[in-house]
Amino acid sequence: MTQLIVATGNPGKLKEMQSYLEGSGWELTLKPAELDVEETGTTFLENARLKATQVAIATGQWAIADDSGLAVDALDGAPGLYSARYGRTDQERIDKLLAALGDRGDRSAAFICALVLARPDGTVALETDGQCPGEITHAAAGDGGFGYDPIFFVSDAGLTFAEMSKDQKRKLGHRGRAFEKILQQMQDLCPKN
């Protein structure tokens, strides 16, 4: 197994990525807590590149980063790049988003994920993105997942992300769609020990 540093401090994201890369030859671990990368990009892809390349250089290991967020049409794409910083806790972010939407009829939204794999020297090996269209519910439903999952409804499944099984979320979710595009390439790149 080759170590792959996940450029996040979010254990929920690590767990989800582990499910996508099961059997791929990569052993995932969270980035060191003291290693913080400032997200100064203007797109999800730019932020993912920053995180992957800087974590790879700092650790001397392969690194993978995603930058993802929720874009709500009626809020002009907000919270977007600031999805994780929209509040201090998942519940605070959910409450703020639901309050901002109020009783608006248009609740269409999309989860967006940009994914970047960087070599130990910081060069980009792979990059891609994935999207999942859906809508924001009026109230939370389900107890799985993390972040905005309880209020993001996917009509193809008739469920929120928080109500889906891991397999359903993997198939329909933005991160799963991004990984699907590059999984074979990642397996081919995995250095053999």
Handedness of CA 89, 90, 95, 101 (dihedral sign): positive
Residue 156 a catalytic site member: no
Which own/partner contact pairs does 177-182 have at CB distance under 8 Å and 24+ positions apart?
A: 177/113, 177/130, 177/131, 177/132, 178/66, 178/113, 178/114, 178/115, 178/128, 178/129, 178/130, 179/17, 179/20, 179/21, 179/115, 179/130, 180/130, 181/128, 181/130, 182/115, 182/117, 182/126, 182/128
Catalytic annotation, pick one of 36, 66, 67, 106: 67
10 and 67 in contact (C-beta within 8 Å)?
A: no
Catalytic positions, please? 67
